[in-house]
């Protein structure tokens, strides 16, 4: 079946992982800087989702944005990816865990729905499991009940996406993966997504590719375009079809990241960056 495409997907997502006690302030700062897409997860081990909600509430109170201006994305995380601070009953079925995680996320974020609900990663590193199918069906129920508009999967391999398709699972609207230049910028997964009208969200575009940021080609392009190397990477990502995430904690970098939306690389420059391996 065709994938429902979002009508209001932003051009950039602000990622809230690993912000700890700074989460609320940085979420508000990102919104003040101009971000309208916020990515989080109901996984206290790496995210502080309730503090994301505090940052959203502060931005609403200040009149910076309304809920309708925003794209909010959260995730369901299996117990293996959690610490002791679980957002669901570990003895419950996966279907119940999904429903409990979503209810907790909506409370954290102060909303009656999110725009995207993402499976944080399959249950196995090697294949798409019966557990994943059960979880995905439960996520579809959350979507059909109006608690999310769209569904996605994260940290997933091409083989798992192919297995998911062979199992006749409803396709995701989004795939979100860590994107390494040395692995071809996740070329095979991106091709799978492009063929099926799935939006590919790329994260760790800077932290996973420090060598690319220092590469003479990227440095030269940055100099020519009066840009930063980070901006060049984000422009490249966008032009090859990615929706990029940034997790910067720096106000100036937030401004620069959003300013990259006004920069365009030539087709030759994009082709030159594509094979870079650092």
CATH number at residue 75: 3.20.20.100
Both 135 and 238 in one domain: the answer is no
Whether 20 is in a domain gets the answer yes
Q: What is the per-residue pLDDT for 7?
A: 47
In a domain, 184, yes or no: no
Cross-strand bridge partners of residue 242: 200
| Phi-psi sector, 223: left (phi>0), alpha (psi -120 to 50), beta | alpha
Enter the tokens of residue 235: 């422009």
Asked if 219 and 128 sit in the same domain, the reply is: no
Q: Give pLDDT, residue 169.
A: 86
> How far are the Cα atoms of 110, 119, 130, 188, 259 from residue 137, in angstroms, in the given order?
25, 11, 11, 26, 39
In a domain, 259, yes or no: yes
* CA nearest to 111, candidates 76, 140, 70: 70
Does one domain contain both 156 and 220?
no
Whether residue 60 is found in the same domain as residue 132: yes
- Residue 176, both tokens: 């979100």
Helix axes 49-61, 23-33, angle to 10 degrees: 40
The tokens for 131 are 């557990």
The pLDDT assigned to 227 comes to 98
**Same structural domain, 48 and 159:** yes
Of the candidates 134, 160, 178, which is a domain's last residue?
Answer: 178
Q: What per-residue confidence (pLDDT) applies to 2?
A: 35
Give residue for tokens 């609320």.
24
How much is the pLDDT for 4?
Answer: 42
Whether residue 263 is contained in a domain is answered as yes
Is 17 inside a domain boundary?
Answer: yes
* Residue 174 sits in the same domain as residue 60: yes
Domains contained in the chain, number: 2
Is residue 245 situated within a structural domain?
Answer: yes
Q: Give per-residue pLDDT as tens, 48-104.
A: 999 999 999 999 999 999 999 999 999 999 999 999 999 999 999 999 999 999 999
Are residues 81 and 167 both part of a single domain? yes
Alpha helix ranges (H) inside the chain: 23-33, 49-61, 94-109, 130-144, 158-166, 187-195, 210-213, 216-224, 229-239, 251-259, 267-273
- What pLDDT is stored for residue 278 in this prediction? 53
Residue 116 shares a structural domain with residue 216: no
Calculate the alpha carbon distances from 41 to 20, 27, 32 in Å.
13, 14, 21
For residue 21, what are the domain limits? 13-178
The encoded tokens of residue 178 equal 């860590």
Spatial CB neighbours of 226, under 8 Å, sequence gap ≥ 6: none
- Same domain for 216 and 148, yes or no, is no
- pLDDT beneath 70: ranges in the chain: 1-7, 278
Q: Give the whole-angstrom CA distance, residue 98 versus residue 92.
A: 10
Nearest to 272 by CA among 220, 204, 200: 220
Please indicate, yes or no, if residue 91 is contained in any of the structural domains.
Answer: yes
Same domain for 215 and 128? no
Query: Hey, what are 231's tokens?
Result: 């901006």
215 and 241 Cβ atoms separated by less than 8 Å:
no
Same domain, 174 and 225: no
76 assigned to some structural domain: yes
Question: Are both 171 and 208 inside the same structural domain?
Answer: no
């Amino acid at each position: 079946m065709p994938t429902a495409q979002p009508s209001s997907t932003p051009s950039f997502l602000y990622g809230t992982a690993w912000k700890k006690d700074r989460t609320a302030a940085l979420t508000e700062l990102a919104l003040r800087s101009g971000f309208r897409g916020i990515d989080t997860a109901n996984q206290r081990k790496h995210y502080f989702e309730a503090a994301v909600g505090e940052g959203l509430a502060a931005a609403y109170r200040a009149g910076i944005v309304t809920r309708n201006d925003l794209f909010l994305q959260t995730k369901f995380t299996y117990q293996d990816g959690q610490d002791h601070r679980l957002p669901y009953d570990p003895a419950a079925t996966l279907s119940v865990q999904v429903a409990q995680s979503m209810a907790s996320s909506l409370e954290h974020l102060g909303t009656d729905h999110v725009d995207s609900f993402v499976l944080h990663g399959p249950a196995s590193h090697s294949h798409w499991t019966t557990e994943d199918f059960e979880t995905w069906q439960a996520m579809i129920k959350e979507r059909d009940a109006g608690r999310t508009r769209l569904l996605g999967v994260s940290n997933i391999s091409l083989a798992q996406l192919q297995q998911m398709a062979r199992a006749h699972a409803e396709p995701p609207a989004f795939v979100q993966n860590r994107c390494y230049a040395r692995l071809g910028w996740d070329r095979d997964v991106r091709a799978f997504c492009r063929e099926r009208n799935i939006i590919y969200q790329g994260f760790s575009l800077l932290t996973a590719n420090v060598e690319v940021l220092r590469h003479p080609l990227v440095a030269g392009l940055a100099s020519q375009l009066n840009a930063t190397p980070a901006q060049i990477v984000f422009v490249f990502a966008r032009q090859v079809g990615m929706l990029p995430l940034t997790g910067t904690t720096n106000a100036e970098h937030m401004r620069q990241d959003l300013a990259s939306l006004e920069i365009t690389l030539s087709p030759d420059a994009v082709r030159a960056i594509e094979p870079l391996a650092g």
